[in-house]
Amino acid sequence: DAGVIQSPRHEVTEMGQEVTLRCKPISGHDYLFWYRQTMMRGLELLIYFNNNVPIDDSGMPEDRFSAKMPNASFSTLKIQPSEPRDSAVYFCASTIGSQERAQYFGPGTRLLVL
Amino acid sequence: LAKTTQPISMDSYEGQEVNITCSHNNIATNDYITWYQQFPSQGPRFIIQGYKTKVTNEVASLFIPADRKSSTLSLPRVSLSDTAVYYCLVGEGNQAGTALIFGKGTTLSVSS
């Protein structure tokens, strides 16, 4: 299995631009999570899905952030408009609901907003 | 969710056993204890999970005393490649769908 795939791996953009991060979970996994990691705040949960349905989006910072999961093999996290304080590493993770609490993380997308 | 407290950093040498202790005084009856490892520029990786007593796998051991207010991750004979950040998490039940709350973690530095 290829593991969780994220793209792009690096993104540099200017303030005000739209940013779209992509994630392909491990085949067969029914939970998908989006996290953000910064030095100041550590690893934070933004939102998670179960069977493509958003379950908890209380971690989404503000309305500029949105996430979708149109099917079991694809999810996006969009930031519009982006701001410098959005600079962070964004991780996608997936797991199977019947297993222990082991989530499988992707390599992350390093976002820099200038 | 129970709050966890673990040392910010630890140093060790190759070949030594490393024990990282995590305090979780408010752990609930249904809470499990889970440890993750994170290397620079990578996502966290699940290491081990336990509820009580001792759990061992090919990577590490997890010791949990009877009161479950703390737990100790034991890494036998560490190598340079074990240099990473280790996170202790406590959460409800054995529900994979439950969101994970990561603390600051313990940065382990292994030297030769």
Separation between Cα atoms, residue A67 and residue B30, nearest integer Å: 31
What is the rounded CA–CA span in Å between residue B27 and residue B70? 9
Cβ–Cβ gap B102/A43 under 8 Å = yes
The residue-averaged pLDDT of B81-98 equals 77
Match 């999810």 to its residue by tokens. Answer: A75
Helix (H, G, I), strand (E, B) or coil at A100: coil
Question: What pLDDT does B103 receive?
Answer: 79
Q: Which residue has the tokens 């997890």?
A: B62
* Mean pLDDT confidence for A87-106: 85
> Considering CB atoms only, which of A44, A59, A105 is closest to B43?
A105
Using the beta-carbon criterion (under 8 Å), do B43 and A45 form an inter-chain contact?
A: no
Q: Three-class SS of residue A89?
A: strand
Q: Given this model, what pLDDT does residue B94 score?
A: 46
Phi-psi region of B30 (alpha: psi -120 to 50; beta: other; left: phi over 0): alpha
Whose CA is closest to A112, among A86, A80, A93, A81? A86
- pLDDT for A108 beyond 60: yes
Tell which B residues from 42 to 61 touch A, by Cβ distance under 8 Å: 42-46, 49
Closest CA to A104 of B100, B56, B44: B44
| DSSP bridge partners of A68 | A76
A27 or B101, higher pLDDT: A27
The angle at the Cα of B49, spanning B45 to B52, to the nearest 5 degrees, equals 160
Q: How far is B36 from chain A (nearest CA, A)?
A: 9
| Residues A45, B101: C-beta atoms closer than 8 Å | yes
- Checking if the pLDDT of B92 tops 90, the result is no
Q: With CB atoms and an 8 Å threshold, state whether A95 touches B34.
A: no
* Residue A54 CB-density burial (10 A; 0-12 exposed, 13-18 middle, 19+ buried): middle
pLDDT band at B31 (very low <50, low <70, confident <90, very high): confident
Q: Which of A4, A43, A98 is nearest residue B96 as measured by Cβ atoms?
A: A98
Residues of chain B positioned with their CB less than 8 A from the CB of A48: 97, 99
Mean of all residue pLDDT scores within chain B: 89
- Structure tokens that stand for B27 in this block: 């752990």
Task: Give dist(CA A38, CA A25) in Å, integer.
Answer: 22
Q: What is the pLDDT of residue A2?
A: 81
Q: Does B72 touch chain A (CB under 8 A)?
A: no
pLDDT average, residue stretch A75-98: 93
Give the three-state DSSP class for A72: coil
Measure the CA–CA gap between B98 and B112, rounded to whole angstroms: 39
Q: Which chain A residue has its CA at the smallest distance from B89's CA? A: A101
Identify which of A29, A36, A51, A50 has the alpha carbon closest to the alpha carbon of residue A109.
A36
d(CA B81, CA B70): 26
Tell me the average pLDDT of chain A: 92
